[in-house]
């Protein structure tokens, strides 16, 4: 069986990685007024944050249509694939997964296995990478899905935003929570719980919030063992690189990666956000 792996653009997988592991990507879009841009296709992350700074209002985001998924699945069938593992951002924050699932039900040329990552950004990307590696090794779709389920249980991811108003206006955080955070200058640590963004802990400063996340990471290293750490930034690569370098000096044997919050996720988190994700053994 020849299995394709498809993910959406919010995984923010580097193009070289996608090409190396033959991972297909379907883009989400950001909308500035009447202008629609497909992220990772028409608009880079740097261009997006620049446009946000110049715009009077925040952009909106839109998911791929059912028709776009149908076209993608047909293309994969024409390329000789028998099945596709379609891995997408949490269905609690976007309708992308549902569109993928609806399209899969109408396609007869290829078997479609949609998968809810229950998260987004590089943690979603790592699921796609793992699926692609297993597909290369001849694993069945069922075995791949089972492995992804186990990997999700071993993942932890936390992030901090500089400006809570993005989450509030995007409907991802209540107005009351945003107001309290703004007035008290609180930098809440956020995480995904069952696919939804929820506050984890309220911290008074950005530095203390980052240290709190790092201490949780260090605890997991000592108690469970950690195989991989990802540092994710919202157009502040230097901050992520600094964290990576400090971490690697202390734990040189643990694999690390740098990733980013691109246009669609950046619309909701804002510039300057930082995230740390890791996988336990």
Instruction: List the strands of the sheet with 29-32, edge to edge.
Output: 35-38, 29-32, 60-62
DSSP state of 39: B
Sign of CA dihedral 181, 165, 44, 71: positive
Q: What is the pTM of this model?
A: 0.92
The closest alpha carbon to 276, from 194, 216, 200, belongs to 216
- Rounded CA separation 153/155 (Å): 6
Provide the b/e sequence for 22-42 (b: ≥16 CB within 10 Å): ebbbbbbbbebeeeebbbbee
The mean of the pLDDT values for the chain is 92
Q: What is the DSSP string of 42-76?
A: TB-HHHHHHHHHH-SS--EEEPPPHHHHHHHHHHH
Summarize the confidence of residues 87-110 as an average pLDDT.
97
Instruction: Report whether pLDDT(183) > 50.
Output: no
Tell the residue number behind the tokens 């069986």, with chain if given.
Answer: 1
pLDDT above 90 covers a percentage of the chain that reads 81
Summarize the confidence of residues 8-23 as an average pLDDT.
96
Return the C-alpha torsion angle 169, 170, 171, 173, nearest 10. -80
Helix (H), strand (E) at residue 6: strand 3-8
- Rounded CA separation 173/185 (Å): 16
Q: What is the DSSP string of 73-99?
A: HHHHHHTT-SEEEEEES-TTT-SHHHH
The closest alpha carbon to 48, from 274, 241, 202, 270, belongs to 270
Q: Which two tokens stand for residue 152?
A: 């999700």
Q: Could you tell me whether strands 35-38 and 29-32 are parallel, antiparallel, or unpaired per DSSP bridges? A: antiparallel
Q: Out of 3.40.718.10, 3.40.190.10, 3.30.1180.10, 3.30.70.20, select the CATH number for domain 155-280.
A: 3.30.1180.10
Instruction: Report whether pLDDT(177) > 70.
Output: no
Instruction: State residue 174's pLDDT score.
Output: 47
CATH 3.40.50.10170 placement within the chain: 3-28+63-153
- The CATH topology of domain 3-28+63-153 is Rossmann fold (3.40.50)
Q: Could you tell me whether strands 60-62 and 29-32 are parallel, antiparallel, or unpaired per DSSP bridges? A: antiparallel
CATH 3.30.1180.10 placement within the chain: 155-280
Query: Between 194 and 178, where is the model more confident?
Result: 194
Q: Which two tokens stand for residue 171?
A: 């409907």
Summarize the confidence of residues 127-142 as an average pLDDT.
97
Note the helical H segments in 117-174: 121-136, 141-153, 165-169
């Amino acid at each position: 069986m020849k299995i394709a792996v498809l993910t959406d653009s919010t995984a923010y997988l580097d193009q070289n990685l996608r090409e190396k592991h033959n991972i297909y990507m379907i883009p989400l879009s950001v909308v500035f007024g009447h202008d629609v841009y497909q992220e990772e296709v028409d608009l880079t992350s740097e261009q997006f944050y620049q446009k946000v700074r110049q715009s009077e209002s925040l952009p909106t985001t839109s998911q791929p249509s059912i028709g776009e998924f149908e076209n993608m699945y047909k293309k994969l069938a024409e390329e000789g694939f028998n099945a596709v593992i379609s891995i997408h951002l949490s269905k609690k924050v976007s309708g992308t997964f549902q569109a993928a699932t609806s399209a899969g039900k109408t396609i007869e040329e290829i078997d479609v296995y949609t998968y809810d990552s229950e998260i987004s950004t590089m943690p979603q990307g790592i699921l796609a990478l793992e699926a692609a590696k297993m597909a290369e090794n001849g694993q069945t779709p069922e075995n791949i899905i089972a492995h992804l389920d186990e990997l999700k249980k071993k993942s932890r991811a936390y992030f901090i935003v500089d400006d809570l108003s993005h989450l509030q206006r995007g409907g991802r955080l209540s107005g009351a929570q945003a107001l309290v955070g703004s007035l008290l200058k609180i930098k809440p640590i956020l995480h995904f719980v069952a696919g939804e963004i929820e506050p984890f802990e309220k911290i008074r400063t950005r530095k203390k919030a980052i240290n709190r996340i790092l201490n949780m990471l260090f605890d997991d290293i000592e108690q469970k063992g950690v195989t991989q750490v990802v540092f994710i930034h919202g157009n502040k690569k230097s901050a992520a690189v600094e964290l990576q370098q400090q971490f690697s000096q202390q734990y040189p044997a643990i694999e690390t990666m740098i990733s980013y919050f691109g246009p669609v996720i950046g619309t909701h988190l804002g510039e300057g956000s930082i995230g740390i994700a890791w996988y336990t053994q």
